[in-house]
Structure 1
């Protein structure tokens, strides 16, 4: 038996581009471990046929392939568009309607009847994971009149998000439970609960299966702020989690998503729950044969963080290169796993100088810069002060990425410009020839209102100012 060259699991969304037995076989041979069926799209008959084909191919290949039914949940979607993609242009008026009709360039149907009462003039509405943004101008009983703030191409049934708005719907609806009953009958292995808010949402699906005399693995999709607030309980109730970054990124500030992703992954790892990292992993391969460098880094970093599986959505459901995309993501996984230990060790720079390869031939400057950062962290110091001309000591401190600021003080303009490149370094021009380094810097900070009375700061300098060959002095002083 030949094992794969990587251990990360690959989740592929099955759709028009991948539902034939030929493509399914190629996907499995390339590395697909999980087939995701998105019940927000398609028909029950279509899903039934997909399940049959997946099982037939897996049996023929003597391969295990988990089938996951992704329940729609309370996600709001637009309806069917007459012509697609529909291109929305900045400044264009768009009417969102709850009427049952086919969408046109100026009127788009929405499957949420309470949309008009959920928004008001000035509200922002996000379409397609936030890539398209509308602002509400006015509201009527059945229609919401909007102005396009950020335009772009829009396809049928794409998601609609209302950041900060309470959606009047349960995470697990009667429709979802009907899908569960159907999927259990067809032998589906696991269920994704969309927009889970509490552990009860997970238990609702499990309990429903138990009443039917069956068991169900349930994957909690983390997409709402409420899920973050209740994450520990959700994690305990669920069999696995999916970090669904698309909807999560419009429900919380987009810039917070990377840190949230790392924290959730860590918590799930501690409890031994599998983690799926999802949304736009290799999105550009929906249209292109190669991914972007940023996408490759995104997949690798998810693996470095400890994810169990990476998920492909449009890439394999409707993309032009579903098989090539899986081939690419497995190559990234193999490379990331091969380098994971080395990357992890390199990330702990202090340990490198204390116990690693750097401990054998370290210098005084290395030890002083490391001690400065550790002292600053221990004492909650806000500023480390250095001389600009002290042989690059600001850069040596900066490499440890401290929480505090590093003020590089002096009159060397060219070096000050260069130090603007280094993390956490703030160059300031100070003439301390007459006052001395410590007094001159403290006077500057006091006049600038940067420090409070009796506050600690750290000075790093050379003990003999006239000899600039070595930085060997660290002082902790208090402001006056």
Structure 2
């Protein structure tokens, strides 16, 4: 056996076919020029190898106890956003420092700045039960039995199967006979029978076990609680003070909540991207305004399933994904992994369908932060992405884009159209604000959008957009605009070759500005690598 070290494949040695006789192309390329959706789907080939590029972004939930080795492993697997789940200010700062230190170390080994975005989450208003009585760790509520809910704080530490304390004083005012009260995210369901002063008599509709401090949900009830409790305001201060990139917000049911959060952030509201979590039927009813006034949307299917019939949740997800794609707003689909050893068949289908339906990113729960799970998810993403008939999506998106349009829209549409017609290996985009890259991503090209920017915050805030791969260009402008543009374009193409996205002689679409003072990219050209 030859033990000599082998030279790594150079860009022009990258495989393009999935088999030796050259009949099957990688990345389902043989289907790319189909005329109809059915022709495209029928041309998909299970022998076709996936692309080396993963367009779908991964949002990883980072628990407080994560180790530096685990974190570096996740960075190597390509997470785009680190969502810190700690809720205590001291712990948040500790995890934040760890994430940034590990990312700096990883960037040095990588030889370039890794634009990892960091996110925090504020929980919003919550209603919870009290503490179980005595030494009980859990109680079992049997279906058909009667129980009572009280808002009297004297019973806060004496919860039992006959009397459950809930910490929302106005609960008897908003609950009517016949209303459902969901405990512990729907693990137990009660139906209200009678409301008398601070007592609500209920019957157990769905049996289950109840722990201390369980969540309480009253579907469609008008809850009068402050959007930001004191603990969330402390996290908001950290978000502003530590230059956090994304803020995930739960409990928002309409545009007024978004305005309140932005008012709390003050002058920093334009620098921090607001991600609204859709997790209840009330938010679903105001989804259009939530999309309009949010920077991104996160769909929490598990929480939606608590209030909606299970068979309706996939419809809600499809509708939200389509609305976000039409608006050009990034949308995150949360996924659930039950077995930490492997991804089940149903979970695989959920992930693939979320990608096919238009998800920009997937949110991975903290319990699934393992190398094997992440590898499985990455493989699923790469296999599912080419199953989308991008040409049909592009044509529908430009059909509903009103004319006359802003010049930047024209440039973006032309670039994506050219990439589809020439089967371009990549689009190289130079941007200062990130807006050009966002528009290119909106029109869903098949190829990666290699984006070059000089601004680290812009690079990090492009981390949620499907198909965008960002490079931070460190060299300052030296006065020769044409030379500067050519250097940045060359960097993008060289990076694409190094990563295996581009081969020598592949077509590459370049979107640049013709002069420094024009204010936006106004030039689209086709070059060959």
TM-score range, shorter chain: 0.5 to 0.7
Instruction: Give the conservation status (yes or no) of the 8 Å contact 1:209–1:215.
Output: no
Counterpart of 1:326 in 2: which secondary structure? Answer: helix
Q: Does 1:77 align with 2:128?
A: yes
Cα deviation for residue 236 of structure 1 reads 2.0
Structure 2 Cα separation of the partners of residues 149 and 191 of structure 1: 37
Structural mapping, 1:422-437, within 5 Å:
none
Three-state SS of the structure 2 residue aligned to 1:77 is coil
Pick from 161, 166, 169 the counterpart of residue 217 of structure 2: 161
1:105-126 deviation per Cα after TM superposition (whole angstroms, max 9, x unaligned): 5355433232233224433211
Change (3 A) 1:245 1:213: closer
Alpha-carbon contact 2:281-2:307 (below 8 Å) kept? yes
Deviation of 1:21 after TM superposition, in Å, equals 2.4
Match among 334, 338, 354 for residue 284 of structure 1: 338
Cα distance in structure 1, aligned partners of 2:158 and 2:95: 28
Aligned position for 1:52: 97
1:251 to partner: Cα distance: 3.6
Give the TM-score, by structure 1 length. Answer: 0.61
Q: What pairs up with 1:456-475 in 2 under 5 angstroms? A: none
Paired residue for 1:68, among 96, 119, 123? 119
Where structure 2 has 5 or more consecutive residues not aligned to the other structure, the ranges are 1-9, 12-50, 108-113, 394-529
How far the C-alpha of 1:308 sits from its partner, in A, is 0.8
Instruction: Confirm or deny: 8 A CA contact 2:130 2:159 kept in the other structure.
Output: no
Q: Is the contact between residue 118 and residue 165 of structure 1 (CA under 8 Å) also seen in structure 2? A: yes
Deviation at 1:90, TM superposition (A): 3.0
Residue matched to 1:32: 79
Aligned to 1:273: 329
Which residue is 1:333 aligned to?
Answer: 381
> What are the ranges of 5 or more consecutive residues in structure 1 without an aligned counterpart?
346-480
**In 1, Cα distance between equivalents of 2:92 and 2:233:** 16
C-alpha displacement of 1:59: 1.8
Offset of residue 143 of structure 1: 4.7
Q: TM-score, normalised by structure 2?
A: 0.55
- Summarize the alignment of residues 29-428 of structure 1 with structure 2, pairs less than 5 Å apart: 29-38=76-85, 42-62=87-107, 63-79=114-130, 84=137, 87-98=140-151, 99=153, 101-102=156-157, 105-106=160-161, 108-139=164-195, 141-172=197-228, 176-211=232-267, 215-278=271-334, 281-285=335-339, 288-313=340-365, 316-317=366-367, 322-341=370-389
- Conserved in 2, the CA contact under 8 Å of 1:172 and 1:201? no
Q: Judging changes above 3 Å, is the alpha-carbon distance between structure 1 residues 284 and 195 closer, same or farther for their aligned structure 2 residues? A: same
Write the deviation string for residues 81-132 of structure 1: whole angstroms up to 9, x where unpaired.
Answer: 6665655443455554443744755355433232233224433211233232
Shift of 1:173: 5.3
Q: CA deviation digits over 1:172-194, x for unaligned, max 9?
A: 55654443113222332211222
Q: Deviations over 1:389-446 (max 9, x none)?
A: xxxxxxxxxxxxxxxxxxxxxxxxxxxxxxxxxxxxxxxxxxxxxxxxxxxxxxxxxx
* Cα separation, 2, equivalents of 1:28 and 1:20: 13
Matched residue, 2:69: 22
Q: Which stretch of the first structure deviates more once superposed, 303-312 or 165-174? A: 165-174
Residues 134 and 229 (structure 1), Cα distance of their counterparts in 2 relative to 1, 3 Å cut: closer
Larger radius of gyration: 1
Question: How far is the alpha carbon of 1:305 from its aligned partner?
Answer: 0.4
Maintained 8 Å contact 1:161/1:247 = no
Q: 3-state SS of the aligned residue for 1:273?
A: coil
Count of residues paired in the alignment: 334
Q: Using a 3 Å threshold, how does the CA distance of structure 1 residues 24 and 132 change in structure 2: closer, same or farther?
A: farther
Q: Measured at CA, do residues 273 and 343 of structure 1 come closer, stay the same or move farther in structure 2, by a change above 3 Å?
A: closer
Partner residue of 2:43?
none
